[in-house]
Structure 1
Amino acid sequence: MTTHILKLSAILILAASSAHAINTIPTTVGDPSDISAFNSADGEYEGWENLNSSNTDIAGYGGSYPGYTAWPDAIDSNTSGSTGNGAYNKTAGAGYVGNTSIYSSDTGSFSISSSVDSLDDVNTVIFQFDAGLQDDWTNYVATLSYNGGSQSLTADYTALTNGSFTNEFGGETIYSSNILFQWDLSSIGDTISEYVISYDVAAHTQTYALQLDSSEAILSGSVIPEPSSFALLAGLVAFTGCATRRRHLK
């Protein structure tokens, strides 16, 4: 088992050409005991990057503008270190693979699912959605349902960090917003073997990358920033270092 280290820094966003990836979870004001518990517990990581037309696996998804065509399949997690149990799908509305992102010309509904088959249970889930937002970030709401149910649990903790990357078309800087959602599922009596996160996006939202962390860790609070840290994190991008992915296979 490798260790997935959560660096005490702002969100690290790396880009090569139009590739865009999220590599770590910001834990600037996280409780040290919770960070330690999250790092040491068994977990699974899933990541999605290269969500643009240069990725031949998904080019043509959603058809052309305005992008209402159904996707032929879900997009499997594709970043290095992904366990391979994650799937990203459009469930309704607009969303097609454009030059730099998955672009929703109108409102769209999406889902992220994970089967977490290497874990005995799931007690903590952290989902990161990195995008060009077209509405107040607090209006982007994600809900989680598990084991085939429709519980629609809202996140216990949410946060926003800001970053940027270089667009391959003209080399201009594109600024993005990363919304983090954390769920505490430790009080659920049932063993969680699968779950689905559902969320809607506003018209003209551009989705650049996604990250999902599932953990057996039972935490007392949150490992993501609290709202009081927003001013410290705004505009910060860490350009050095990498986070080692944690993957536990039985």
Structure 2
Amino acid sequence: MTGPRKRVLVTGGTRGIGAAVATRLARDGHDLVLGWARDDAAAELTRAAVEDAGAACTLVQADLLAEDGVERLFAAAGPLTGVVNNAGATFHTGTLAETPPDVVRRTVELNLTGAILVARAAVRALSTAYDGRGGVLVNVSSAAATRGSPGEYVHYAAAKAGVDALTLGLAEEVAEQGVRVVGVAPGIIRTSIHADAGEPGRVERVAPTVPMRRAGEPEEVADAVAWLMGEEASYVTGTTLRVAGGR
């Protein structure tokens, strides 16, 4: 007799790395709840891909920058066995001195404050101390957190460094509550995050500086997330796995 199916919430789950994670986890037997803020067409395409892989898929539109966005997302998600804390954006490419203050605030609000609030809600949903079944929280950080990304997006790098600290501290805090907290730190990955920040050609510009001389694909990050979510990583917590081609 098999137990209940695993059910994972992925924030920012309908495009880029989030969509790749969703379809990979679906193939591994997880049902999915996908949080998203915009792009109806992408949401429907990802839902179809998840369902084609044999998993149930629930779409929940929620803006994590809204005051009640995280609360509404988790209320709609229902019981969970895992959370992938993925939603993020750079919003801008350039030096810090040339980055508008409102962009700095929005970047930190989404990539750090939003990530912390999602992690808080994830603990309350997963932890045995809150009547959860236990589970895994995967925080999506960035290789920028340790490189600083001068001239590119120092503001984003600083926020993601905070995510790494979140992973480390929270893992120890909830280790006895049935929750593993781990992270992945992608490098330059071929997604729309670059075009969204105003530089669609950024992958081609930066890829030659990577030791492997290429950009990564979203599916390569998704493979790392899937491993961290699985039983093979059952003794892994409080650490962030770098998926950055050697950078």
* TM bucket normalised to smaller: 0.3 to 0.5
Question: Which of the pair is proportionally richer in helix?
Answer: 2
TM-score, normalised to structure 1, is 0.34
TM-score of the aligned structures, taking structure 2 as reference length: 0.34
Per chain length, whose mean CA-contact separation is higher, i.e. which structure has more relative contact order (CA < 8 Å, sep 6+)?
Answer: 1
Identify, as 1 or 2, the structure richer in strand: 1
